Amino acid sequence: MDRGGGGGGRTFETDYWLTPMPPPGELTIIVAWPTRDIPESRTVIPGDLIAQGVSANVELWPWQSEDDEPPPPPKPAVPEGGWFARQMTGDPTDG
Where do the structural domains in the chain lie, given as residue ranges? 25-57
Give the pLDDT of residue 70.
76
CA separation, residue 34 to residues 19, 31, 41, 67, 94 (Å)? 26, 10, 11, 47, 72
Between 20 and 93, residue with greater pLDDT: 20
Q: With 60 as the cut, is the pLDDT of residue 94 above it?
A: no
How far is C-alpha 94 from the geometric centre of its chain's CA atoms? 45
- pLDDT tens digit sequence for 31-55: 898 999 999 999 998 888 888 887 8
Instruction: Determine the 3-state secondary structure of 53 from DSSP.
Output: helix
Residue 75: which pLDDT band, with cuts at 50, 70 and 90?
Answer: confident
